[in-house]
Amino acid sequence: MLLVEDDPPGGFRPEATRAVTRVLLVEDNPHDVGTVERLLTTADTPFDLTSVGRVSDALARLATGNVDVVLLDLGLPDSDPSQTFDRVSAAAHGTPIIILSGQNDKGMAALAVRSGAQDFLGKRHLDGPLLDRSLRYAVERQRYHDALRDSEERYALAVEGANDGLWDWNLRTNEVYYSPRWMSMLGLVEAQVPGRPEAWLSRVHADDAEELRRDIDGHLAGGTDHFSKEHRIRCQDGSYRWMLSRGVVRRDQRGVTRMAGSLTDIHAQKVVEERLRRDALTDALTGLPNWTLFKDRLRAAIAKAKRQPAHRFAVLFLDLDRFKTINDSLGHSNGDKLLVAVSKRVADVLRPGDTIARLGGDEFAVLVEDCAEPSDAHRVADRIHAEFKAPLHLDGHEVFVSTSIGIALSSPRYAYPEECLRDADTAMYRAKGADRGGHAIFDREMHQQAVEQLQLENDLRRAVARREFRVHYQPIVRLNSGSVQGFEALVRWEHPERGLLMPDDFIPMAEDSGLIVPIGWLVFEEACRQLVAWQKAWGETPFVSVNFSSRQIRQSDLIPHVQEVLRRTGCKATDLRVELTETMIMESAESGVDKLASLSNLDLQLYIDDFGTGYSSLSYLQRLPTNALKIDRSFVNEVAEKPQIVGTIIALAKSLKMRVEAEGIETEDQLARLRELGCESGQGFYFSKALTPTAATSLVETQPIH
């Protein structure tokens, strides 16, 4: 609310005066009446003159309200001259009165003017223009005063009724008027508020004071139309509240005269705004900055490094190892507690200027400022790793977590925060691949590899369209006789420049990009065709085992798609096996169980691949409609030295009424141990590697299937 407006109060405009001015002449001397009449008829302004000779008549006339101005002679037959003005004035209710004075009553006329008469005119010197001007001015002045009074009344009401406090600063005397509301808003009473600017300014929060002063000075200097500033102010109880001070300056020819304005309490609104702002920039779970805020800080660090090359920073990308397993096994609320505990541990080893943010899930980023040497970044990473050595206690569980850290050091190459984080992320993958719980610094070679990966992903997309995939078949044999029972279909990519690529070179990328789905279906269909071809040639029934990705399983049209391929190729479901890794099955949870049941209902055999590497629970396994377990290669590898694990898996399979199969058999020793432990079938380089379809065909033809 602004107190001072540019228009005159009440919007008064001189042109708004009435066209004809109604003059009441109170005069008992006919000669004088005649003079006035004559002068008014020739005046520029249109006047409507009524004359009366007695005060009582004047009072009656004024009571009608039809008078704009009174010309009053003080010496009248029914009044004592010293009282004439007071009597008429009392009845005039603000109608302006001009005294017509003769020689004798000049002193009284002057007195009347002091008591409120607008003017006095000597009868002797009366002339047209003088009378005209005097009447007009009296009327205008009165109108102006009326308007001013209205406006002041309105203003007084507004002050009383407004929720805002008001202040009016006389810049010449440096005195300030503070309204009672202004004071009560701060919990103050008048005695505590000296009428000086300090009463306000000295209470402003130290962090806001300088800017407030600057804004006031800027406005006083004419730099702004209005002064408006949000600031905190100390209340009587010592607390600070957010207020909005607004005002505007008035000036005359000599410069600024006063500045006046209001004080509005915006505390509640500010608190909400502050919370929203904080929420938008922080992670709700840990209270750490989020990616948006981190990005801002990183952007500032990049800009600073560009301006001052001596300023170097490092970005650390942290990803917890095995977080998903911990989350799944201990429950999500413990997973959340773990993330909070981890964020505290990391924050503890950082310096005050550094920033730690949660990017989402189990990923954190750290911005280390002033990181002169790569060894500084290594040291921070070492300190973080050291923090993870001690176990965390969650709901009575002792949990060990480790984190893999990728580091990107500041470089003139970086223009955007995203680039920097991307490189730290790439380095993190390297760290994870090399040795969990370690760290790696992004370098040129990684950059090169990242570029190659991108190239490979593009190639892979094209490969799907060009059907560059080949299916090889690894024989699965009966362990006691060595005869071939069937084959596992394994995909290879015939890359136009790089030659035959193995699944490890492209399956992870195919999984990430989703291309595993079309690739998986290509392999499935090709395997079905091959199986039908073999069956036609031999009349025998080998089986073919096909690997499915969890992404395929999650597809909503999984079942119709399988049925469609079986129909197209004429393959029988009973001759097919589907292999799913243990980890994939565990990840797909409840909805996955239904999907597996539907597959099983089609009469497909379901195998749990790489068994022993995941974290299946016994109760979960019991509910799965799976037919067999494939013991992971790592256990088969050690079966000669440590037969217990394989023994346990075989016993488990038996109790679950599942078949068991070994993969990765490489030596005779391993074969012998597996036979002893009661494993019936398996595959491995000891028997044969995966073969081309032609090689697989001739193998079977020389050694018929049993």
Q: And the tokens for 261?
A: 């304005």
CA–CA separation, 545 and 524 (whole Å): 9
Q: By CB under 6 A, what part of segment 601-620 binds ligand C2E?
A: 609-610
Q: Among ligand C2E, Mg ion, none, what binds residue 507 when CB lies within 5 to 8 Å by partner kind?
A: ligand C2E
Q: Report, in Å, the least distance between residue 548 CB and ligand C2E.
A: 6
Q: Tell me: does residue 168 bind Mg ion (CB under 5 A).
A: no
Q: How far is CA 272 from the centre of its chain?
A: 14
Per-residue contact string for residues 395-424; x = within reach of ligand C2E by CB under 6 A: ------------------------------
Within 13 Å, how many C-alpha atoms sit on residue 109's CB side?
21
CA distances from 539 to 419, 532, 534, 686 (A): 59, 10, 8, 28
Which residue has tokens 């002091």? 114
The percent of the chain in helix, strand and coil, each rounded to the nearest 5, is 50, 25, 30
- Among 249, 235, 244, smallest CA distance to 262 is for 244
**Which CB sits closer to Mg ion, 39 or 544?**
544
- Of the ranges 120-128, 338-346, 430-438, 662-670, which one interacts with ligand C2E (CB under 6 A)? 662-670
Three-state secondary structure call for residue 509: helix
At 305 the three-state DSSP class reads helix
The nearer residue to Mg ion, 86 or 638, going by C-beta atoms, is: 638
Per CB under 6 A, which of residues 312..371 are in contact with ligand C2E?
none
Helices marked H in 467-515: 503-513
Judged by beta carbon distances under 5 to 8 A according to partner kind, the member of ligand C2E, Mg ion, none in contact with residue 486 is: none
Encoded amino acid at 370, one letter: D
Angle formed by the axes of helices 444-466 and 503-513, nearest 10°: 80
569, 609, 665, 683: residue in contact with Mg ion (rule CB under 5 A): 609
**Cβ-based nearer residue to ligand C2E, 363 or 610:** 610
CB atoms within 10 A of CB 665: 25
Smallest gap from Cβ 674 to ligand C2E, in A, equals 12
Which of 172-180, 454-462, 579-587, 589-597 is the region at the interface with Mg ion (rule: CB under 5 A)? 579-587
Shortest gap between Cβ of 301 and ligand C2E (angstroms)? 42
Handedness of CA 491, 495, 501, 506 (dihedral sign): negative
Please pick, from the candidates 32, 132, 164, 663, the single residue that binds ligand C2E as defined by CB under 6 A: 663
Token pair belonging to 399: 């949990």
HSE-CB at 650 with a 13 A cutoff on CA atoms is: 20
Taking CB within 5 to 8 Å according to partner kind, which of Mg ion, ligand C2E, none is near residue 95? none
Closer Cβ to Mg ion, 242 or 493, answer by number: 493
Among 547, 569, 605, 616, interactor with ligand C2E by CB under 6 A = 547
> What stretch of H or E contains 382?
helix 374-387
DSSP state of 391: P
* Residues in binding contact with ligand C2E, number by CB under 6 A: 25
Residues 522 to 561 in contact with Mg ion, rule: CB under 5 A: 547
The reply to whether 610 sits near Mg ion by the rule CB under 5 A is yes
Residue closer to Mg ion by CB (options 135, 507) is: 507
Q: What x/- string results for residues 618 through 657 when contact with Mg ion is judged by CB under 5 A?
A: ----------------------------------------
CB 671 within 8 A of CB 454: no
Q: How far is the CB of 524 from Mg ion (least distance, A)?
A: 13
Interface region with ligand C2E, contact rule CB under 6 A, candidates 42-50, 140-148, 215-223, 681-689: 681-689
Q: Which of 20, 30, 685, 692 binds ligand C2E (CB under 6 A)?
A: 685
Please say which residue, 336 or 511, places its beta carbon nearer to ligand C2E. Answer: 511
690 binds, among Mg ion, ligand C2E, none (CB under 5 to 8 A by kind): ligand C2E
- Strand 21-26 relative to strand 69-73, pairing: parallel
Q: Taking a C-beta distance cutoff of 8 angstroms, is the pair 81, 75 a contact?
A: yes
Block residue for tokens 């094209």: 462
The residue whose two tokens read 């503070």 is 178
| Residue 559: φ, ψ to 5° | -65, -55
Instruction: Look up residue 204 and give its DSSP letter.
Output: B
CB 25 within 8 A of CB 36: yes
Query: Which residue number, 15 or 504, has a Cβ lying nearer to ligand C2E?
Result: 504
Among 28, 265, 336, 666, contact with ligand C2E (rule: CB under 6 A):
666
Q: What is the 3-state secondary structure (H, E, C) of 400-441?
A: CCCEEEEEEECCCCCCCHHHHHHHHHHHHHHHHHHCCCCEEE
**Considering only residues 105, 423, 579, 661, which one is a binding residue for Mg ion as defined by CB under 5 A?**
579
472 and 522 Cβ atoms separated by less than 8 Å: no
Q: Choose, by CB under 6 A, the member of 212, 684, 696, 705 that binds ligand C2E.
A: 684
Q: What does the alpha-carbon distance between residue 53 and residue 76 come to, in Å, rounded to a whole number?
A: 7
Q: How far is the CB of 482 from ligand C2E (least distance, A)?
A: 15
Site for ligand C2E contains 585 (CB under 6 A): no
The Cα 587–Cα 581 span in angstroms is 10
Q: Are 108 and 82 in contact (CB under 8 A)?
A: yes
Do the Cβ atoms of 357 and 293 come closer than 8 Å? yes
Closer residue to Mg ion in complex, CB, 168/663? 663
Q: Whose Cβ is closer to Mg ion: residue 12's or residue 548's?
A: 548
Shortest distance (Å) from residue 488 CB to Mg ion = 6
Among 247, 406, 520, 592, binds ligand C2E (CB under 6 A): 520
User: Taking CB under 6 A as the rule, does residue 298 contact ligand C2E?
Assistant: no
> Which amino acid appears at position 114 of this protein?
R
Interatomic CA distance for residues 184 and 201, integer angstroms: 16
Any contact of residue 579 with ligand C2E (CB under 6 A)?
yes
Q: Shortest approach of Mg ion to residue 610 CB, angstroms? A: 4
Task: Kindly state whether residue 660 participates in binding ligand C2E, applying the rule CB under 6 A.
Answer: no
Nearest Cα to 355, choosing from 431, 430, 281? 281
Which one, of 55, 71, 72, 74, lies nearest residue 63 by Cα?
55
Closer CB to Mg ion, 321 or 663, in the complex:
663
Placement of tokens 């991307």 in the chain: 422
Q: Is 132 in the site for Mg ion (CB under 5 A)?
A: no
Closer of 338 and 491 to ligand C2E (Cβ): 491
Sequence-distant (≥ 6) Cβ neighbours of residue 384 within 8 angstroms: 316, 318, 345, 346, 349, 366, 403, 405
Closest residue by beta carbon to Mg ion? 579
Question: Taking CB within 5 to 8 Å according to partner kind, which of ligand C2E, Mg ion, none is near residue 684?
Answer: ligand C2E
User: H or E stretch including 567?
Assistant: helix 558-569
C-beta closer to ligand C2E: residue 32 or 610: 610
Question: Footprint of ligand C2E on residues 449-508 (CB under 6 A)?
Answer: 474, 490-491, 502-504, 507
Considering beta carbons, is residue 168 or 632 the nearer one to ligand C2E? Answer: 632
**Nearer of residues 32 and 579 to Mg ion, judged by Cβ:** 579
Distance CA 260, CA 176 (A): 9
Least spacing, CB of residue 523 vs ligand C2E, in Å: 4
664 counts as binding ligand C2E under rule CB under 6 A: yes
User: Of Mg ion, ligand C2E, none, which one sits near residue 490, judging by CB under 5 to 8 A according to partner kind?
Assistant: ligand C2E
Asked if 549 is part of the footprint of ligand C2E (rule: CB under 6 A), the reply reads yes
Count of residues that interact with Mg ion, criterion CB under 5 A: 5
Positions in the binding site for ligand C2E (CB under 6 A): 474, 490-491, 502-504, 507, 516, 520, 523, 547-549, 579, 609-610, 633, 663-666, 683-685, 690
Site residues for Mg ion per CB under 5 A: 547, 579, 609-610, 663
